[in-house]
Structure 1
Amino acid sequence: MNSLIKIFLVFVILSNIHYAQDQCTFTGTPEKSLSYPLFGSTGTLKVLVILCKFTDDNYDDPPRTNLWPSTRNSMPIWGPSLVSTTIQTDYPDPSISGYFQDMSLNQLHIIGDVKFYQPIHEQAYYFISSGRGLGYLTEEILMGLNSQINFAEYDNWDPKDIDQDGKKNEPDGQVDFIAICFRDANFAGLDGSSYSGIAGITGYRQVFGNGTSQLILDNKVISAKNLLSDLGSGTCQRGILNLHEGLGTICHEFGHYMFGTTHYAGVGFHGLMDGEGTGVMNSFERIRLNWLQAIVVNNTESDVMIPDAISTGLVRRMNIPNSTEYFLIDNH
């Protein structure tokens, strides 16, 4: 048992080393019932990632911004490697594809495309105080890239099972997931609330510039909804300065499509969905997606070996006597 305690203490110390993931304020009870994970925990999901930079974005904080300095008004060199275009046996790390391959033990493949867009106007033009807002900007981004994109390629899942055939891995007429990623953005001005990311491509207001909650491109619906009200078509985030810092925020916001609208309070700074964590999924999250097996420690074991949880998918569970609660101890 002493070995377990020592390992647990090391885990607590290491878990406070932050992966670069800003605070997410998105939380609450959705108005409509959705079955999570929305896309299933196995299979292939094709996503669209859009990197954006305002012309007046002059934020620089070396070395954090060295890989996308404010003087570069185009796709950063590392941009295309955010997500793999095809299914691979071994995705590069760091990347969205590599992250979920590692966490899922190769059960979930996230592939897709990365595009760059520079808004036509300076940021203040899109502020709510100017009569526009994030939805107006999002519509401009999507329409501006429309000639480069076939949005029908990103409809491969039916999260709500609208045809009631028991299958989620089939098209439903709505684009599955778009991640709109700003190098830097003032969401307080754009959306009336400060946050690093939100599980909705138009923020809290949930409408495009045309005043509706839908765009139809390539005969596919792109939804402005966020998960607090209904199924949307992606996420919006800021602070995507490089692969390491951007990945934590993007994966966390995608995590709302896997786990729902709440954060896991009480797990400290360890996990994807606590809102300000290390970025590495904890064992509780991976168990919920059937990506990990918990083996109960029994009273007869005196020396317990705990393998690396990321690569083996194994953790140990310590039940609390006369209680439904327990400890999960993972080593990574």
Structure 2
Amino acid sequence: MRSILLMLFLIFTFCMQLISSSQAEQFCSMQGTSAASAQLGGRYKPASGTFKILVIYAQFTDDNTDINNSNWIKGQAPAYMNGTLDETWSSTPTSGSLTDFFNQMSFSQFKVIGKEVSITMPQTMQYYIDHGITKMYDMNKIAIQTADAQVNYAEFDNWRYDSVYHHTNIADNNVDMIYVVWRNMNPSIGLWSGIGALNDWPYTNIPFSVEGGTRNIQTGFEGYGSGVTIINGYYGTWWVYRGMQHELAHWFFGRNDHHTPSGTWGILEGWGTPSDCINAYERYKLGWMNFNTIDPSSYANPTTINITLPDFITTGVAYRIKVPGGGADEYFILENHQRISQFDVPDNNSNAAGIFVLHQTADIGNAVRVASAEGKFNWSVPYTLPNIYGSSPAMLPVFQRGTVNRASGYCRRERIPWYGGNDVIVYELINGSVVKAGENGNPTVFTGTGKDQFDLSNNNVFTPASNPSTDIYNNATKVGFEVTGISNGVYTLNIHVKNPESASPSKPQNPKLEVYSGGGDYNPKLTWAAMLEQDVTNGGNIYVERSRKNMNVYPYNWSAWQTIATLSGASTEYIDQGITTAGMGNDSVKYRIRARDSQNKYSVYSEEVKMRYDRNLLKRGLAEPKEYLLSQNYPNPFNPSTAIKYEIPEDASVVIKVYNLLGKEVATLVNGFKTAGYYEATFDAGSLSSGIYIYRLTAGKYSEIRKMTLMK
């Protein structure tokens, strides 16, 4: 048993190295599953009424880990003690406390209060190890009995567990809830970082007594249980408070299958989530709010429903729309997050406020995922990189965003499946640079892009034609919504049932720029995904707008947007012949597009895309370059050949070589004297394997390197 526990500890310690202070789930030890239930309220502990918790902060005299950490200096009580819980309830609790958190989340229906005490263990940690006292059960039992002199345990016996979801506000000689928070613990003792129990294995209950045998401490989980264990209390409040909230939520909901998926906020947050802010599904299941439900099947005719949506956290107002063709418990959930509460963090970008949509596919916490307003896409894995976190798997995927997949693709807040397994640690390739989920323990790709919310400018339409799409199952019944206004943080929306075509056109998707070299010029070529609305493709328009930045004029500001083309609504590309030096120089040009339908309604603008150009050159070769420049190869990624443009402002001996990531030279593209001017070299990688390659320009004393990706 001891070896098993040690192995589990080592596995969990490795996992914890991947977890950051602001994004990750610290506590994931409630193994197995708990059946979903249609009942509301707390499963094993009450979710309403007054609930009194005892917090015991415990330490060892021979704990020499970070002994001067200001969160918890060795030999003293933690700095945050007496701020975790209020001893008496009020409508204005200590800001940021557990009392405050549950007051706000439950609208004061669940009144969490308690008492905090600090104890030092009677023996050293090494003493217990030497005497074979190395179980979580033993440590917690000694700590709780040591605290007996400071605590009247009768104060914490107020609820009787009758059955699942049924609790009576009466003493039953069993203590309701104790948090044992350890400053630090030796790995030999085999503790998890946090668990919703006082025992080594939560599904075994070994009770013991306090106060001369008059009160019982139940050490298991599910049904009869009296506590939670948290170690590494010296990490500070972010760790301890979220652990307390998370583990109590296990008592509300059940085991690990009730964790929210990566990217989804929730009181029972999973790995890679932005915060423990409660979501509407959880709030409803705990009986703290009711949904406004729209079921399209109850409408005989096309209907537009005008609704107002105030801030979700402070009002509890949320809507859910039954997904046409979906399961019995499948909904789109609409929450307005205005970031009024300090606990309201649906996205780690502080400016991300708006309507966040969750897609619930079943009546259980891990089936509630973000439907990001940024959209869903197909993803490829052009290459893999070594696993910097461990040896299994040896390689981790680098994901690259591809084409639009409105109904069944993946957004950046989801874990993207890979043939090597649905890995917790994933990579993503964005604009040529690798962003690692989990790098330095910080899974930022799951915690928000600042573009996940629906609002009046980022993305205002959620319909079958939008990205993401409401038409997941290609059902005959179509639904959607359009954000139409906002006043004092309250949104107005039109919910379209059986008539989503009444909404404005959706946000144009996937704009991309490339260099088009037809006719000897170098023009920007703008492409985008085809619009799906028939009243755009037949009788509508696409408007292309452009802005420039002149790096010869300070300050280096972008010019006002100008409409440079009005195209058919079915168009998917535009070549800007007004720019003939794309991909070179230091000036910049950017583009955006919007759509108009035959009802004269307009979409929001697409994302902006930009590239370099040289405003001083009307055509290639009319003037000499003013500086050295090595351009990004095109195309990139490529297979098997690609073009590399470069500029030299003076006569020089030029060398361009290509290397693999190990530094081995694989090709020499240029090696000779060149006069000042513009040049292009071709790299044929037909005999090389897929991967990242480095190319280097050396001209006189000048040197520059860039990366390119061969994808076969």
Q: TM-score, normalised by structure 1?
A: 0.79
Conserved in 1, the CA contact under 8 Å of 2:34 and 2:255? yes
* Bigger radius of gyration: 2
Matched, 1:217 2:220: no
Please report how far the alpha carbon of residue 291 of structure 1 lies from its aligned counterpart in structure 2 after TM superposition: 1.1
State the distance in 1 between where 2:318 and 2:59 align: 42
Residue 258 (structure 2) aligns with = 264
| Aligned match of 1:204 | 201
Matches of residues 1-332 of structure 1 in structure 2 within 5 Å? 18=22, 21-29=25-33, 36-60=42-66, 65-69=69-73, 72-127=74-129, 130-160=132-162, 168-186=168-186, 188-190=187-189, 192=190, 195-204=192-201, 213-217=207-211, 219-227=214-222, 230-240=223-233, 241-265=235-259, 267-269=261-263, 270-276=265-271, 277=273, 278-296=275-293, 300-301=303-304, 305-323=308-326, 324=328, 325-332=330-337
Q: Deviation string for 1:237-266 (max 9, x for gaps)?
A: 123332233110111111111112234356
- Aligned 8 A contact 2:54 2:179 in 1: yes
Closer/same/farther in 2, CA of residues 244 and 317 from structure 1, 3 Å limit:
same
Between Structure 1 and Structure 2, the one with more strand by share is 2
- Would you say the 8 A contact 2:148–2:210 is kept in 1? no
User: Percent identity between the aligned chains?
Assistant: 25
Q: How many residues align?
A: 301
- Deviation digits for residues 114-172 of structure 1, max 9, x if unmatched? 0001223333444498343222211211221111111111110012269xxx7611111
The answer as to whether partners of 1:103 and 1:286 remain within 8 angstroms in 2 is yes
Amino acid at match of 2:135: G
Q: Which has the higher helix share?
A: 1
Instruction: Assess if the C-alpha contact under 8 Å between 1:94 and 1:244 holds in 2.
Output: no
Using a 3 Å threshold, how does the CA distance of structure 1 residues 60 and 17 change in structure 2: closer, same or farther? Answer: closer
Unaligned 5+ segments in structure 1 are: 1-15
1:53-107 deviations in Å (ceiling 9; x for gaps): 2333333399xx43324xx312123201111101111112221111111110111
Could you tell me which amino acid in structure 1 is paired with residue 147 of structure 2?
A: L
Contact 1:19 1:248 in 2 (8 A): no
Contact (CA 8 Å) 2:266, 2:277: kept in 1 or not?
Answer: yes
State TM-score, norm by structure 2.
Answer: 0.39
1:318 Cα deviation after fit: 2.6
Deviations 1:250-294 (A, max 9, x none): 111111111122343563241122333411111111110111232
Q: Which moved more, 1:73-82 or 1:146-155?
A: 73-82
Segments of 5+ residues of structure 2 without an aligned counterpart are 1-19, 36-40, 297-301, 338-712
What is the CA-CA distance between 1:30 and the residue it aligns to?
A: 6.9
Equivalent residue letter for 2:115? D
Task: Give 1:222 deviation, angstroms.
Answer: 0.9
CA contact (8 A) 1:200 1:225 kept: yes
Looking at structure 2, the residues matched to 129 and 327 of structure 1 have their Cα atoms a distance apart, in angstroms, of: 56
Q: Between 166-175 and 21-30, report the one with greater CA deviation.
A: 21-30
Greater relative CO (CA pairs within 8 A, separation 6+) = 1
Cα pair 2:180 2:229 within 8 Å, conserved: yes
Letter aligned with residue 231 of structure 2:
R
Cα distance in 2 for partners of 1:255, 1:102 equals 15
Gap change, CA 1:128 and 1:295, over 3 Å in 2: farther
Query: What secondary structure does 1:102 align onto?
Result: helix
Distance 2:130 2:268 in 1: 29
Query: 2:258 is paired with a residue of what secondary structure?
Result: coil
Q: 1:20 to 1:109 in 2, by over 3 A?
A: farther
Q: Do the aligned residues in 2 keep the contact of 1:177 with 1:235 (CA within 8 Å)?
A: yes
CA distance in 2, matches of 1:68, 1:143: 22
> Would the aligned equivalents of 1:95 and 1:243 in 2 still touch at CA under 8 Å?
no
Matched letter for residue 156 of structure 1: N
